[in-house]
Structure 1
């Protein structure tokens, strides 16, 4: 964890183009705050490091880091793929053939962070927009620009997006 704080501090100082003592102090304070907030948000598991000091379980931290990297790669690929699909719709389909619709998708993800990430991922992919979450947080309503089969869209979001979000933020 200290290595991450030092890397972020050096990055801060490089971005400031200043390597003075005040920039070092501000960089250390900001870096420590970012790492502390991120470790709580990501639910990084800690184990007892002896002498009453918590120590990070590096195996779980590394696994979680790789899962996040894979998730970001998946999200970027989904955006690219959706852009291609939207280009096909715009260029090669008649307006009369496009069937926009609102779909209700039951949610298995329970955490606020998980629901937020899922809703943002859906909105980031062109052709879909998250509209609302039910008050009981069990259903998300999305708008799709072209719904040929509502069940196929629902299954695609549940199997691809929600499943991957639940691996990180149940």
Structure 2
């Protein structure tokens, strides 16, 4: 992936230098970058790795999913705080993950801890089980499990070629 991106930058710079203008202009660089994307897309099978924009789009997808989860869980927590709901039942549950890499497990744990309403208390020594505290186990557990599965899927898209 880094080689494809660096090659794309090189194509864009060559495009700028080969144009008739004597100064560096951003629109010329952008057009060269877009031409480079096309060239690299046509030649990416010769690199032996997938096209690098697939991973970039997966990163954007992960960021969008995280922002959606952050906003919805924040609204749910604000609703529970402002309505003084006495039916809130905090609890701890476990989740067995399919992730096997330490970086993937760490990313998943951090994404869960940054989302309001749930906290990863512990990860098993084997790294396959999360112990998660939910603010309201009845309401939060299904939504947290759904978001964990979605996070796992997108983390694997980002991390694996």
Rg larger in structure: 2
Same fold by TM-score greater than 0.5: yes
1:76, CA displacement in angstroms?
Answer: 1.1
Q: Is the 8 A contact 1:105 1:154 kept in 2?
A: no
Shift of 1:163: 2.1
Q: Relative contact order: is structure 1 or structure 2 higher (C-alpha 8 Å, sep ≥ 6)?
A: 2
Instruction: Rate the CA distance shift 1:48–1:169 in 2: closer, same or farther, 3 A.
Output: closer
Are 2:141 and 1:112 aligned? Answer: no
Aligned length: 123
Corresponding residue for residue 136 of structure 1: 126
Deviations 1:57-97 (A, max 9, x none): 5x521100111011111111111111111111111242x31
Instruction: Could you tell me which runs of 5 or more consecutive residues in structure 1 were left unpaired when the two chains were aligned.
Output: 7-46, 50-54
Q: Provide the rounded CA distance (Å) in 2 between the counterparts of 1:137 and 1:148.
A: 26
Q: Structure 2 residue aligned with 1:75, among 66, 75, 81?
A: 66
Give me the TM-score of the superposition, normalised by structure 2: 0.65
Instruction: Map Cα deviations across residues 3-28 of structure 1 (whole Å, 9 max, x no partner).
Output: 29x9xxxxxxxxxxxxxxxxxxxxxx
Unaligned runs of 5+ in 2: 1-5, 13-43
Q: Deviations over 1:81-136 (max 9, x none)?
A: 11111111111242x31111111100101111110110000001001111111011
Distance 1:70 1:157, change over 3 A: closer
What is the aligned counterpart of 2:51 among 49, 60, 85?
60
SS in 1 for 2:137: coil
Q: 2: distance between equivalents of 1:169 and 1:141?
A: 23
Q: What SS does the aligned partner of 1:129 have?
A: strand
TM-score with structure 1 setting the length: 0.62
